[in-house]
Amino acid sequence: MKGDEELAPTDERKALARVLYEFLGPAAKETGKLIADQVRLYRWRLAVKIVQRAEKYAKDRNIESTEMPYNFLVPFIEKASLSEDSDGLIGFWANLLVDASKKTEAKHRVFFDILYHLNQPQAVLLQNMYRTLDVSRRHLWAEPLNFDRGLDEIRRELRELVRQIYGKTSDSRTSDSFIALTEWWKERKIPGLIVSQGVGTKQPDSDSFENPNDFLELGGELFDIFNLCQLRLLIAKNFNFDVQRAGVRPVTVHIRALILSPLGYAFLETCEGGRSSP
C-alpha cells in the first residue's frame, strides 16, 4: 500500500460516505467503508461528484431512491471513480445511478461495464446521435424487433435518392452527391452518420468496413469509432445500389454509414436521463 498522502483523507471519505448514505441508504455507508483504504484521492473526489450529481438529478425529477444491493453499488463506485473527470461522463454515471436507484436491474450492470470503457469524445458522439433521433421513429430503436424494419426503410429511401442523383447524369464525381446524401440523412434525423460514398464495382452488402480510412472523414479518432462498434453501441453498415443511367454503363454506388444500435439506444436512454430529443 502506498503512503497515506495518496489515500483519500478523512474529510473526503466522510463526504463520500455522507452523500452515499443520504442518497442510497445504509448499504451505501458500508460500501464506503469497504473501499475507503483502496481508492486514491482523485477517485474519491470523482465519486463524490457523481453521487452529488445523481442526488441533484433525483431531486429535480422527484425520484425517490431505494436502498441498493452491495453487489451493484461496490463495483459501480469502483468503476465510476476510474472514469474521466469530464462533465459529460459524470452526467452519464449520475443518470445511470439514478435509474438504478429506482430499481436495480441486470441492464444497469451491463451499462456500467460499457460506460467504464468510454471516453469523453465517444460520449459526445453518442449524445449527438441520440439527440438527433426523430421522436416519431423512436420505436425503431426502442423496440429491437423493429430495428431490421427500420434499416429496410432507410435502404429503400436511400435507393430512391441515389437513383435520383446518379440516374440523371453520366458524371461519376461524388463530392456534390455526398453533400446531398448527408443533408438528406440529417433531415431524416437518423441517429448515425454517413461516413463515405463511392462509385465502382459491386461489393457484398456486409456489416463491416473494408477500408479503415473511411472512418477518418468523421474528423475524430479512429480508435473512438472502432471502440463504439466493438461495444456494439454503433453498427457499421454498407449500402450498395445498382443505378441504371441513360446512354452510359450502369454504376454501383457504395454508401458506408454508422448507425446507433438498439443496445446503444437503450444505453443512452438510461445514461442521458430519458431525453429523446434536444
For residue 171, pLDDT over 60 is answered with no
Helix (H, G, I), strand (E, B) or coil at 78: helix
CA distances from 242 to 29, 86, 200 (A): 63, 46, 10
Q: Of 7-11, 127-131, 225-229, which range is least confident?
A: 7-11
Average pLDDT, the chain: 78
pLDDT for 56: 93
Provide CB contacts within 8 A for 238, sequence distance 6+.
Answer: 203, 205, 206, 207, 208, 209, 254, 255, 256, 257
Q: Which of 108-122, 151-165, 195-209, 210-224 has the highest mean pLDDT?
A: 108-122
Q: Which of 71-75, 170-174, 176-180, 251-255 has the highest mean pLDDT?
A: 71-75
CA distances from 6 to 18, 139, 273 (A): 21, 49, 34
Q: What's the CA gap between 69 and 268, in Å, rounded?
A: 23
Give the bridge partners for 240, in sequence order. 254
Question: φ and ψ at 11, to 5 degrees?
Answer: -60, -40
**Which candidate, 92, 3, 103, places its Cα nearest to that of 46?**
92
Q: What's the CA gap between 70 and 73, in Å, rounded?
A: 5
pLDDT for 99: 94
Helix (H, G, I), strand (E, B) or coil at 260: strand
